Structure 1
Amino acid sequence: MKSTKGWRITITVIFIAFILNIPLINTIFTSLKTEGDISAQPPKFWFTPTFEHFQNVLYAAGYDFPQFFLNSIFLAVSTSLLVILICLPSAYAIVRLGFGRKHLMPFATGLRLFPPIIFAIPYYMMFQYLGLLDTVTGLVLINIFLNLPLGLLLMIGFLREVPREIEESAVIDGCNVFQILLKIIIPLMGPGIASVGILTFIFSWNDYLFAVIIALKNATPVTLGSTMFITSWGIKWGDISAATLLSILPPLLFTFFAQRYLVKGLSAGSLKG
């Protein structure tokens, strides 16, 4: 009976996973079909695979996918590192020193409640004045602002899990605040820091709204570059599907190898309010 129950659960999980991943499976099939197979009615489920769409994405004239890819990597990595560097000392100041606990923290975290689109026009005008339009630096600054509230909330939850007695012992041994932060807090909050970095990386990589507004040519990330196969002559579904698959590989692989840190960090930070 236990064996039968286990097989039922396995089959159910596989079925649910298949249903949830139908869009991804369809994208994979579309990227491997010829233009004739893509437009065939009824849809073809058996076809001869082709890699011409991937060749178009990587080597087509006027479409610099490798540069789009590098822009996204720089955007996601820079945003993740800077969000961690800002949120970690800020969370320590709020939780341990009480700085800004009553007013600054609610204000900072409350920004997450607003839809990002309301910041579009102010950012465009400000970046136009500062000369940051169509720069990856501008996209990094925007994504830092968007991810700081979530990063700060998570860091505060993780820091509350660290016993205060450890820091008190370090103070007795002569450590100052910076030494406590570097030698005690950061090592103990490793999974939490990794969680913030992973989530920020994913959110920054997937940003599309502000890429459309800020990036014109030089700062185009893969999320925006994937739409460039929509032309006035038609939509190149095969090329779009190939570009989409290539663009989701980095966050997918990054999350796959770092998921244990993400699960451990999020579960640790959720034990206390």
Structure 2
Amino acid sequence: MRKPFVDTLRWLAFIAAVAILNFPVIATLVTSLKSEAEIMTNASLMIEAPTLGNYAAVFAMADRFDILHFLTNSLVASLIGSVLAIALAFPAAYAMARFGVGRTWLLPLAVNLRAVPLIIFAIPIYLMYQQVGLLDTRFGLALILCLVNVPLVLVLFASSIADLPLEIEEAGRVDGAGTLRLLVYVVAPMSLNVVAASTVLAFIYSWNEFLFGLMLTTNSATPVSVGASFFFAASGGGVRWGVAAAVMILATLPPLVLGLLMYRQIGRSMTAGAVKG
């Protein structure tokens, strides 16, 4: 009888932790399913008359604020930024882990730069983008998202590659494989978990980036993290909380679904190398 009781307590604690940590998301979801009148009279998490009217209102505002356009901008920029970050960081991490290139100064420098508040780089980046014509472009936003994510991805790759068995690479060199072939056909397949996890994390960070999205875009490339704020005063007569909540739920769906689909790879990459025989 002891084990079922302990398991029940464990699950109750787990459910309570999930509910507490996700309370803002749950409250936002509940608000998005209430009418404006019910929001004013019922502040609890109970829904008396569920409605999808707030979501319909979001899409009805496409002539002023096109949520699909904002979502597309974020999707394109986040995908390009994540892929570019992986393409740059993976060979750099391999050079650090296997040949010691910049391991003592470049890696700490990249990590420390990521710790610096991004607002410090705002003015010079804006001026550079203005000179080369990258303002309000998806590719320009993707480049910034790539630079923001390179330090994180670099750290993940460097630690992962350092834990890979060197004997397999040595056997490949004996067979005549060069560094590039080893990187593509040996190291990359053994690093699929950390590649997947790094891609997901880079995508999520890119999706949530607000500062540079606000600074570097005005209309054509406005990401959803910035575009969602437009809906708070979309009616001109105060905040429509139901519509604002619906926009926030729509904005969180892509990274949420991606994270749920890839959570196993993220967990494996975070625990890789923690136990060594």
TM-score tier by shorter-chain length is over 0.9
TM-score, normalised on structure 2?
0.93
Amino acid at match of 2:95: A
Whole-angstrom distance in 2 between the partners of 1:46 and 1:150: 41
8 Å contact 1:154–1:269 — kept in the other structure?
no
- Aligned identity (percent) is 36
SS at match of 1:196: helix
| Aligned-pair CA distance for 1:230 | 2.4
- CA RMSD in angstroms comes to 1.6
Distance 1:173 1:32, change over 3 A: same
Q: 1:16 to 1:132 in 2, by over 3 A?
A: same
Shift of residue 42, structure 1, vs aligned partner: 5.7
Unmatched 5+ residue regions in structure 2? none
Give the secondary structure class of the aligned counterpart of 1:63.
coil
Matching of residues 133-144 of structure 1 within 5 Å: 133-144=135-146
Shift in Å at residue 124 of structure 1?
1.2
Partners of 2:242 and 2:43 lie apart in 1 by 17
Q: How does 1:1-273 map to 2 (within 5 A)?
A: 1-40=2-41, 43=44, 45-60=46-61, 61-231=63-233, 232-270=236-274
- Structure 2: distance between partners of 1:102 and 1:268: 22
Distance 1:168 1:34 in 2: 65
Deviations 1:116-172 (A, max 9, x none): 111111111111111111111121111111111111111000101111111111111
Q: Distance in 2 between matches of 1:269 and 1:227?
A: 42
Conservation of the 8 A alpha-carbon contact between 2:70 and 2:221: yes
Contact map agreement 2:193 2:269 (CA 8 A) in 1: yes
Aligned AA (2:247): A
Q: Which moved more, 1:205-214 or 1:150-159?
A: 205-214
Q: How far, CA to CA, are the matches of 2:256 and 2:238 in structure 1?
A: 30
Tell me: CA distance 1:112–1:42, structure 2 relative to 1, closer, same or farther (3 Å): closer
Q: CA deviation at 1:14?
A: 1.1
Separation in 2, partners of 1:206, 1:226: 11
Q: Residues 44, 247 of structure 1: CA spacing in aligned structure 2 closer, same or farther, 3 A cutoff?
A: closer
SS in structure 2 opposite 1:230? helix
| Separation of aligned partners in 1, 2:176 and 2:42 | 76
Q: Taking structure 1 as the reference length, what is the TM-score of the superposition?
A: 0.95
Q: Contact 2:70–2:227 (CA<8 Å) still a contact in 1?
A: yes
* Native 8 Å contact 1:37 1:44 kept in 2: no
Question: Quick check: 1:68–1:222 contact (8 Å CA) kept in 2?
Answer: yes
User: What secondary structure does 2:177 align onto?
Assistant: coil
- Deviation string, structure 1 residues 81-109 (Cα, Å, up to 9, x no partner): 11111011101111112222233222222
* AA matched with 1:113: A
Alpha-carbon displacement from aligned partner over 1:22-79 (angstroms, at most 9, x marks no partner): 2111111111111111122665734211111101112313111111111111011111
Paired residues of 1:192 and 1:262 also in contact (CA < 8 A):
yes
Looking at structure 1, the residues matched to 185 and 246 of structure 2 have their Cα atoms a distance apart, in angstroms, of 45
Matches of 1:83 and 1:132 in 2, distance apart? Answer: 19
In 2, Cα distance between equivalents of 1:123 and 1:19: 39
Q: Residue 218 of structure 2 aligns to a residue in which SS?
A: coil
CA distance in 1, matches of 2:275, 2:136: 42
Unaligned runs of 5+ in 1: none
Between stretches 57-66 and 103-112, larger displacement belongs to 103-112
Between stretches 50-59 and 251-260, larger displacement belongs to 50-59
Tell me, in whole angstroms, the C-alpha distance in 2 between the residues paired with 1:151 and 1:42.
42
